């Protein structure tokens, strides 16, 4: 194979190496670059929402089964051009993380034929950190909640799963497992913003959302988890659906990347509280490795270096699959609806459908995150 490397950017090389790893079905390739392989994880467990659902939503309800995520163009770059319920054109960050660990892709818990030898994925599209009843108490329209499988429900599934797989000695069974608690908690703000809640109301929810995530971390520690990643939120002011809804002529509302400052500040505020809470928890559990997954700065890095990473500078805030307006997004004509076009080359777009990201973006974010987390995981050299 002839690879023409136009620009010898280390990151491009890294992504080519990762790409080659993906081509090897056994993934037993030793990388020259920092990799999670040396951590010797033997299982991965994921809780979360659409950023990491690998097929639970499309299996849990009719709503999911008939959602756009169950059909092409979702999954058009997944092996065999197959829609799996992943909200992207191909792989998600969790897929790249699993491959970098030398493990198979995580099966969704709701898959009756799933093989859970190397872990399980409990994430569900649309899930919130707060229980659905609490969202409804906060005047979120019950019909807008596309799933009730919030964090507490996912933890119940996890409990049931461990009861049947390691009831007698889960600490030993999970000694080399990696847990990802999130990203979760972002949908609270999505539902809230779409239903006209003010930024003040949403800020007021932050302590409660953070607390429920911290409680979930304590629950997984109780199950036997010893290495846990807790991701924060993306800069949501850069996401096409919110950019469309909150479009304004007032140029001072936008930052240097043409993202909405107020929304990014909300995400920063939330992330700051989450990080503080994680630091407190570290004191309480000195023997547990707790790592904040810095999605926000990973995304900023992607934006800052977008052109050298292969993205089209005119499409950084446009959906690849979508139509209409400044951001290629119209909520009445979303990706997967009849006649909605798909961009020629999704690898040059960060955003896939107006809400979720492309495989190309997820791959680079995963590489950045792994690089950031690796020293903190203190894996043997």
What are the two backbone dihedrals, phi and then psi, of residue 217, each rounded to the nearest 5 degrees? -60, -40
By beta-carbon proximity to ligand NAG, the closer residue of 260 and 373 is 260
By beta-carbon proximity to ligand NAG, the closer residue of 207 and 300 is 300
76 forms part of the interface with ligand NAG (CB under 6 A):
yes
By beta-carbon proximity to ligand NAG, the closer residue of 187 and 207 is 187
Binders of ligand NAG among 6-45, rule CB under 6 A?
11
Can you say whether the dihedral through the CA atoms of 112, 115, 116, 121 is positive or negative? negative
Strands in 112-207 per DSSP E = 119-121, 177-181
Q: Where are the alpha helices (DSSP H) in 62-185?
A: 62-65, 93-100, 132-137, 151-166, 170-173
Q: Are strands 43-47 and 177-181 parallel, antiparallel or unpaired?
A: parallel
Contact 202/128 with Cβ under 8 angstroms?
Answer: no
By beta-carbon proximity to ligand NAG, the closer residue of 76 and 275 is 76
Minimum distance, C-beta of residue 90 to ligand NAG, in the bound complex (Å) = 10
252 forms part of the interface with ligand NAG (CB under 6 A):
yes
Residue 111: both structure tokens together: 């898959």
By beta-carbon proximity to ligand NAG, the closer residue of 81 and 139 is 81
Size of the site for ligand NAG (CB under 6 A): 23
248 forms part of the interface with ligand NAG (CB under 6 A):
yes
Supply the residues annotated as catalytic.
50, 353, 356
Among 56, 88, 147, 219, binds ligand NAG (CB under 6 A): 147
Find the part of the chain contacting ligand NAG (CB under 6 A) among 46-54, 182-190, 246-254, 367-375. 246-254
Among 304, 326, 331, 337, binds ligand NAG (CB under 6 A): 304
250 forms part of the interface with ligand NAG (CB under 6 A):
yes
**Alpha-carbon gap, residue 57 to 199, rounded angstroms:** 29
DSSP secondary structure, 7-53, as one string: S--HHHHHHHHHHHHHHSTT--PPPSS--GGGGT--EEEEE-STTT-
**Alpha-carbon gap, residue 372 to 293, rounded angstroms:** 8
Vertex 46, ends 43 and 51: CA angle to 5°? Answer: 135
Minimum distance, C-beta of residue 132 to ligand NAG, in the bound complex (Å) = 6
| Site residues (vs ligand NAG, CB under 6 A) | 11, 61, 63, 72, 76, 81, 104, 115, 117, 132, 146-148, 248-250, 252-253, 286-287, 304-305, 308
């Amino acid at each position: 194979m002839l690879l023409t490397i136009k620009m010898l950017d280390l990151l491009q090389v890294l992504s080519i190496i990762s790409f080659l790893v993906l081509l090897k079905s056994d993934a037993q390739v030793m990388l020259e670059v920092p990799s999670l392989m040396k951590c010797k994880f033997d299982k991965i467990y994921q809780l979360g929402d659409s950023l990491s659902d690998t097929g639970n939503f499309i299996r849990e309800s009719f709503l999911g089964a008939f959602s756009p995520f169950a059909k092409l163009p979702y999954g058009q770059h997944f092996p065999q051009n197959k829609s799996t319920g992943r909200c992207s054109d191909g792989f998600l960050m969790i897929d790249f993380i699993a491959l970098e660990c030398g493990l198979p892709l995580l099966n969704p818990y709701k898959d009756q034929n799933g093989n859970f030898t190397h872990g399980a994925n409990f994430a569900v599209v649309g899930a919130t950190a707060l229980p659905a009843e609490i969202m409804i108490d906060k005047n979120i329209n019950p019909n807008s909640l596309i799933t009730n499988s919030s964090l507490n429900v996912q933890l119940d599934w996890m409990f049931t799963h461990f009861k049947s797989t390691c009831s007698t000695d889960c600490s030993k069974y999970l000694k080399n497992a990696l847990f990802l608690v999130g990203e979760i908690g972002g949908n609270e703000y999505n539902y809230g913003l779409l239903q006209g809640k003010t930024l003040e109301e949403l800020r007021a929810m932050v302590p409660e959302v953070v607390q429920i995530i911290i409680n979930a971390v304590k629950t997984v520690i109780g199950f036997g988890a010893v290495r846990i990643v807790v991701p924060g939120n993306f800069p949501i002011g850069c996401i096409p659906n919110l950019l469309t809804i909150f479009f304004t002529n007032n140029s001072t509302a936008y930052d240097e990347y043409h993202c909405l400052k107020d929304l990014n500040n909300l995400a920063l505020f939330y992330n700051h509280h989450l990080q503080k809470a994680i630091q407190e928890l570290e004191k309480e559990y000195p023997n547990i490795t707790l790592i904040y997954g810095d999605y926000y700065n990973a995304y900023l890095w992607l934006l800052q270096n977008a052109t050298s990473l292969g993205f089209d500078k005119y499409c950084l805030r446009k959906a690849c699959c979508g139509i209409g307006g400044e951001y290629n997004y119209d909520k009445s004509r979303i990706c997967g609806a009849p006649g909605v076009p798909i961009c020629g080359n999704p690898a040059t777009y960060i955003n896939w459908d107006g809400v979720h990201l492309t495989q190309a973006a997820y791959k680079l974010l995963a590489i950045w995150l792994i690089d950031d987390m690796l020293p903190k995981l203190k894996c043997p050299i």
